Amino acid sequence: MKVAVPATGGSMNAQVSEAFGRCAYFIIVDTNTMKFEPVSNPGVGMMGGAGPAAARAIAERGAEVVLTGAVGPNAKQTLNSLGIKVYTGYNNMTVKEAVEKFLQENK
């Protein structure tokens, strides 16, 4: 399964970003292999509609799940329509820790 995590940097050790639509990077993690791909967030500098643009970027890379601190209303609606599940409350941890926590809790 592919999991997308908004992050402040481009690696597994980066912090999970507090924002979804305005994060710097998404780390797309394949939970079977734990291989990851960093993706620049096209929404970061946008005037408006950052959430949907960000949702599109991760959907195009096959993400099925998002782990994030919080998510805005427009992003949430788009992610729901795309069939991507959103898990919030992943604050104050690295991307790696977030994915491990998720796998632990969703065995």
Partner 1 sequence: MKKDIKIAVASGKGGTGKTLVATNLAYLLSKNKKYQLFDCDVEAPDSIIFFSSTQKILEKNANIMIPEINPDKCTYCGLCADYCEFNAIVIVSQIKKAIVSEDLCHGCGLCSYICPVNAITEKEKPIGKITQFRINNLVIKEGRLNISESTPSPVIRSLKKEIEPDNPAIYDAPPGTSCSVIHTIHDVDFVILVAEASPFGFYDMKLSIEVFKKLNKKFGVIINKSGEYTDKIKEYLKQENIKIFTEIPYDKEIAHLYSEGKLIVKELPHYKEKFMELITEIERMLQ
We find the least distance from the C-beta atom of residue 78 to partner 1, in angstroms, to be 5
**Residue 78 binds to partner 1 (criterion: CB under 8 A):** yes
| Residue 96 neighbours by CB under 8 Å, 6+ apart | 12, 13
Q: 62, 88, 91, 106: which one contacts partner 1 (CB under 8 A)?
A: 62
Q: 3, 5, 14, 55: which one contacts partner 1 (CB under 8 A)?
A: 55
Instruction: List strands edge to edge, sheet with 65-67.
Output: 35-40, 25-30, 2-7, 65-67, 85-87
- Cα distance between residue 92 and residue 58, in whole Å: 22
Contacts with partner 1 by CB under 8 A lie at 43, 46, 48-50, 52-53, 55-56, 59-60, 62, 73-74, 77-78, 81-83
